Amino acid sequence: MLQHDQLACVEVGQRCQPPVRRKLSRFDRLVWVFNVWTTQDGFPEFSSAASAGLSLAEVPFAQIAGPRTAGLCNNVGFSGAETATFRQTGTGLRLGSGIRVLQQGRRRAVGEELPSAWGRRVNSSVFQNAARALWFIGPCEAALLSETICSRVAANTCIVRSIYSAVSEGTERLVLAGRVPADLHQSMRVPYMTGAFSFPVKYGYSLVGRVEQGAPHLLGKVAHLLHPRQDLCCVDSADVFPVPDGIPARRAVLASNLETAVTAVWDARPLIGERVLVVGFGCIGALIGHILRSMPGIDLRIVERNEVRRRFAGRMGYETESLAGDEFDLAFHASGSAAGLQEAIDRVGAEGRVVEVSWFGTDEIPLRLGGSFHIQRKSIIASQVSRLPAFQTPRWDRVRRKQLVFSLLRDPTFDILLNEPIPFEKLPDFFNRLQTHGHAIVPLVGYS
């Protein structure tokens, strides 16, 4: 048995004040509760060991409970060396700078009250790591930029490693082009957005990842959150929605846009037997169509001028309309074009409703309202996901709506809307071509 009579704690950059003296077995277990940067060769800087009168030999991390969480390490040896060397045997781990010697075989979690003999209470762990995020750095110019996540990972905080995210082409095309109205710069902000719409800006709002550090009930779970595209995120636990079992992570990225579709259907209040037209078979149009055709008695048609998407809708079993056709009771406009909105207005009959789910940003949209629109008392209804319809608010909130969305996502036919993942590393190229190229119904981003 090796002995050291002054060991209690070692913290990077601080002189150790040992509160206890005891013998240390070579096989005592240590708990690491803080995280530090590793050097390029994989070894952490551990500058205070010698000044504390303590030197540590190589410590192989043989047992780690989970990446970036409190864990155990065995086979700890101590020697009289001048410097401390911690060798990491796993991959993707950050080694601990706050080390406490505990009673043999006893594991303590971050935030647990330690016996007074062992020193001060550990309230949170300091998490430091590098992340990469997609930024729109100028009009029609996207880039991956590195940034540092440095946050106290307390009970109300989670570290999430991204798995997939989705691209909402219509909205993001406008953001990328700098076409967000100045008077909406504040109200159009999304959770965890950084920068400003005047550039540079980090924007996006549907991400699925795995919780690597945080509250015990969330640890290890696949979760959905509203967050820009970033490979590692530090978020409030209240913003993390665990994905129910049985729903694949790639399908779960549809949750944010499916909330938009659900809200649009609520705003429309379709009736049994109505003829319904969806103009535009992009992401939102396809999701609205998917909801509507599950409703009994709905006669649903799709209008899509893009030949590729029109054929795609046909393969999914939708009836696709040409520019001429029957009169409709209800229309949803989701094409993002003035021509599409005009067609939706013109195709509904007297007292017909048009639900507008496209957003035009700073674009001016010319419409012909001097024809049937006025005399036939047609209505245009604006639908926007950030607010629930007034008639739903006495009973519904955003959590209940999210629960509904994930119950709908149990349907595997949603998978057909997703493309093969775009590698996160190639995402700038995707966005830099977004203004001129068409893409899949729902572009999917994959994080390695």
Residue 368 to residue 354: CA distance in whole angstroms: 14
Rounded to an integer, what distance in angstroms lies between the CA atom of residue 414 and that of residue 416?
A: 5
What confidence score (pLDDT) does residue 128 get?
A: 55
Place of tokens 């015990």: 216
Q: Which CATH class is domain 257-382?
A: alpha beta
Give the pair of three-digit tokens for residue 35: 């995280």
How far is it, in rounded angstroms, from Cα 275 to Cα 332? 11
CA-to-CA distance for 39 and 388, rounded, in angstroms? 49
109-118, 214-223, 262-271, 367-376: which range is least confident on average? 109-118
CB atoms < 10 A from the CB of 315, how many? 9
Size of the chain in residues: 448
Cross-strand partners of 10: 99
Model confidence at 122, pLDDT cuts 50, 70, 90, reads very low
Residue 100 has pLDDT above 70, yes or no: no
Q: Which CATH class name applies to 129-253+421-446? A: alpha beta
182-201 per-position pLDDT tens digit: 999 999 999 999 999 999 99
Query: For residues 367 and 343, what is the distance between their CA atoms, to the nearest angstrom?
Result: 10
Locate 135 and state its tokens: 């930024």
Would the pTM count as exceeding 0.75?
no
What pLDDT, in 10s, does the model give residues 302-360? 999 988 898 889 888 898 875 556 799 999 999 999 999 999 999 999 999 999 999 99
| CB-CB contact of 247 with 303 (8 Å) | no
307 or 284, greater pLDDT: 284
Tokens of 174: 């406008």
Mean of the per-residue pLDDT values of the chain: 75
Using CA atoms, how far apart are residues 390 and 392, in angstroms rounded to an integer? Answer: 5
pLDDT at 181 over 50: yes
Q: Report the C-alpha gap between 405 and 422 in whole angstroms.
A: 24
Return the higher-pLDDT residue of 188 and 59.
Answer: 188
Q: 247: helix, coil or strand?
A: coil
Report the distance separating Cα 346 and Cα 357, nearest Å: 17
Q: What is the pLDDT of residues 10-20, one digit of tens each?
A: 333 333 333 33
* Distance between first and last Cα of the chain: 44
Residues 207 and 225 sit within 8 Å (Cβ to Cβ): yes
Give the pLDDT confidence score for residue 375 in this predicted structure: 95
381 by Cβ neighbours in 10 Å (0-12 / 13-18 / 19+) ranks as middle
| Two tokens, residue 224 | 């959905």
Label residue 110 by pLDDT band (50, 70, 90).
Answer: very low
Burial status of residue 140 (CB atoms within 10 A of its CB: 0-12, 13-18, 19 or more): middle
pLDDT > 90 in the chain, percent: 59
pLDDT(87) > 90:
no
Handedness of CA 428, 434, 440, 442 (dihedral sign): positive
Per-residue pLDDT, averaged over 211-239, amounts to 94
The yes-or-no verdict on residue 54 having pLDDT over 50 is no
Residue extents of the structural domains in the chain: 1-123, 129-253+421-446, 257-382
CA nearest to 276, candidates 337, 348, 339: 348
Output the pLDDT for position 438.
53
- In DSSP terms, which residues pair with 142 in a beta bridge? 136
Q: Count the neighbouring beta carbons within 10 Å of the beta carbon of residue 18.
A: 18
Q: What is the tens place of the pLDDT at every residue in 369-398?
A: 998 999 999 999 999 999 999 999 999 999
Q: What is the mean pLDDT of residues 28-50?
A: 30
Judged on CB neighbours under 10 Å (0-12, 13-18, 19+), 145 is: middle
What's the confidence (pLDDT) of residue 85?
Answer: 31
DSSP string, 60-102: -----SSTTS-EEE----B---SS------SSS----SSEEE-
Q: Which residue has the higher pLDDT, 313 or 112?
A: 313
Instruction: Tell me what the mean pLDDT of segment 256-285 comes to.
Output: 96
In this model, does residue 262 exceed pLDDT 80?
yes
Q: How far is CA 375 from CA 275, 336, 388, in A?
A: 21, 26, 30
Q: 439 falls in which pLDDT band (50, 70, 90)? A: low
Mean pLDDT of 247-273: 97
Better-scored residue on pLDDT, 114 or 339: 339
What is the three-class DSSP state of 169?
helix
Mean pLDDT of 292-311: 92
Give φ, ψ of 332 to 5 degrees: -110, 130
Query: Is residue 444 a contact partner of residue 253, using CB atoms and an 8 Å limit?
Result: yes
Q: Are 329 and 274 in contact (CB under 8 A)?
A: yes
Q: Which one-letter DSSP state was computed for residue 38?
A: B
DSSP 8-state code for residue 4: -
pLDDT of residue 56: 30
**Mean pLDDT confidence for 268-287:** 96
